[in-house]
Structure 1
Amino acid sequence: MTDPGAYPNPGQHPTPHEQPPRTRRRRWPWLVIGVPVLLFGACGVAVVTSVAGGNDTTVTPGPAAGDTDGGAPDRGPDFPGKLDHDTAAAAGATITRDELAYTVSPLEAVDTVLGSYLCSTVTIDNVGTTQNDFNGYTDWSLQDTGGAIRDATFGPDRPMLNSGQIAPGGRATGSVCFDDRTGATPGTYVVLFEDTFSLSTDRLAWINAL
């Protein structure tokens, strides 16, 4: 005799434990895609901020600056080899950019037992609210009367600018020197500043007539 319990009732619904288990959606592909996208976006913001920072530049005093034209940025006087985004001033003037105020004295010929140099005294004031870096060697160069650009070098018997950081309201000062073994030919010399660790290629320039 057939057991009635061996066959399910056609009208009977399956019990809950007989339902097929739900498949869990895998989330790791979205993490693999999403994390690089977020990192790339953050890097993009940092690049834009770094490039835009170089546009906040002012020149003092007045004799170092020319008249503005229709609100265009004042880039100061011209000099041989001046680039489109250079900001220039006469030696002794102050140029402020990215909350640092740079004052560069006129070049001075310095003769030592090791050779001859042209040196300027550089004063950097932190006029902002955050700590800022400075470098007395890699950021500075000198364009001579022939248009050659020389890197800064160590000047004996001079208090050099060196490198480090400046706290808000603080100041760093020291000499920036350039080799002058052949002697200073009369003409126009330009002390140039370009931040080595910035994506901006804008230079600051102080014009000297020797």
Structure 2
Amino acid sequence: MTHPISYPDPNQNPSGQPPRAKRRIWPWIVVGVPVLLFGACSIAVVSSVGGEKEATVTSGPVGDEVVADRGPEFSGKLDHDTAAVAGATITRDDLAYTVGPLQLIDSVLGSYLCSEVTIVNVGTDQNDFNGYMDWHVQDAGGAIRNSTFGADRPMLNSGRLAPGGTATGNVCFDARAGAAPGTYVVLFEDTFSLSTDRLAWVSTL
């Protein structure tokens, strides 16, 4: 009598050990992706903040004697502001900014306060500059006003400077309500920088 050939049951575990539960992958994906993104953003923020160079003040055009402190005091000056008298040069992030004294300009459209600005790229890479959003003025009463488009003055444009390149133009502020005598401060604050440090040029009208 022949015995039928028996085949192993595929549903049985030959080792006698209970079957392992399958690990689910999706919880690790849900947790891991945000962690990786957060880490990448943190590295980018640290790199951006760490890459900003300290501002230096010179007493005149680029190349003159460097002023050691953070410049003259003015009402509302913040701890990390770097100030200078109008006409001096402040250099930061390989851009040297020379801002002239404020002048009251009358035109058919009204009155404006304008300063002539010269920006020189003293670095070895291309560098961006902005002639509108980055500029403000603090008036004699302490109010900080945005820049505007002044009449009868070539305005400072926005763009990119090659190494050694220069851009010159005016930044202007509305003065149709008048310009009371006193201390005025032209303020530069990089709109697209994580830093809140400002550059300031003090004028007296």
Question: Normalised by the size of structure 2, how large is the TM-score?
Answer: 0.81
- Equivalence map 1:125-140=2 (5 Å): 125-140=120-135
Tell me, what secondary structure is at the counterpart of 2:140?
coil
What corresponds to 2:34 in structure 1?
Answer: 36
Does 2:119 align with 1:124? yes
Question: Normalised by the size of structure 1, how large is the TM-score?
Answer: 0.80
Give the one of 78, 82, 104 matched to 1:83: 78
| CA distance in structure 2 between the aligned counterparts of 1:178 and 1:7, rounded to whole angstroms | 96
| CA distance in structure 2 between the aligned counterparts of 1:130 and 1:36, rounded to whole angstroms | 34
| CA distance in structure 1 between the aligned counterparts of 2:159 and 2:83, rounded to whole angstroms | 25
Q: 1:198: Cα distance to partner?
A: 1.2
Does 2:194 align with 1:199? yes
How many matched pairs? 194
| CA distance in structure 1 between the aligned counterparts of 2:102 and 2:185, rounded to whole angstroms | 9
User: How big is each residue's C-alpha offset from its partner over 1:104-125, in whole Å with a ceiling of 9 and x where there is no partner?
Assistant: 0111121111111111111111
Give the one of 136, 159, 162 matched to 1:164: 159
| CA distance in structure 1 between the aligned counterparts of 2:201 and 2:166, rounded to whole angstroms | 20
Give the one of 140, 143, 150 matched to 1:145: 140
Residues 1:131 and 1:28: Cα distance change in structure 2 (over 3 Å): farther
The 10-residue stretch of structure 1 (47-56 or 112-121) with the greater mean CA deviation from structure 2: 47-56
| CA distance in structure 2 between the aligned counterparts of 1:85 and 1:26, rounded to whole angstroms | 52
- Work out the percentage of aligned pairs sharing the same amino acid: 71
| CA distance in structure 2 between the aligned counterparts of 1:105 and 1:126, rounded to whole angstroms | 18
Listed as ranges, the gaps of 5+ residues in structure 2 are 15-19
User: Once superposed, what is the RMSD of the aligned Cα atoms?
Assistant: 2.8
Residues 1:36 and 1:131: Cα distance change in structure 2 (over 3 Å): farther
Native 8 Å contact 1:51 1:199 kept in 2: yes
Tell me, what secondary structure is at the counterpart of 2:148?
coil
Native 8 Å contact 1:109 1:119 kept in 2: yes
| CA distance in structure 1 between the aligned counterparts of 2:6 and 2:37, rounded to whole angstroms | 61
Native 8 Å contact 2:56 2:66 kept in 1: no
Give, as a single letter, the amino acid of the residue that structure 1 aligns with 2:44.
A
| CA distance in structure 1 between the aligned counterparts of 2:163 and 2:32, rounded to whole angstroms | 38
What corresponds to 1:114 in structure 2?
Answer: 109
Structure 1 or 2, whichever has the larger Rg, is 1
Q: 1:57: Cα distance to partner?
A: 1.1
Give, as a single letter, the amino acid of the residue that structure 2 aligns with 1:48.
V
Does 2:203 align with 1:208? yes
| CA distance in structure 2 between the aligned counterparts of 1:54 and 1:138, rounded to whole angstroms | 20
Tell me, what secondary structure is at the counterpart of 1:42?
helix
| CA distance in structure 2 between the aligned counterparts of 1:92 and 1:59, rounded to whole angstroms | 11
Listed as ranges, the gaps of 5+ residues in structure 1 are 9-13, 68-73
What corresponds to 1:45 in structure 2?
Answer: 43
- Equivalence map 1:51-62=2 (5 Å): 51-61=49-59
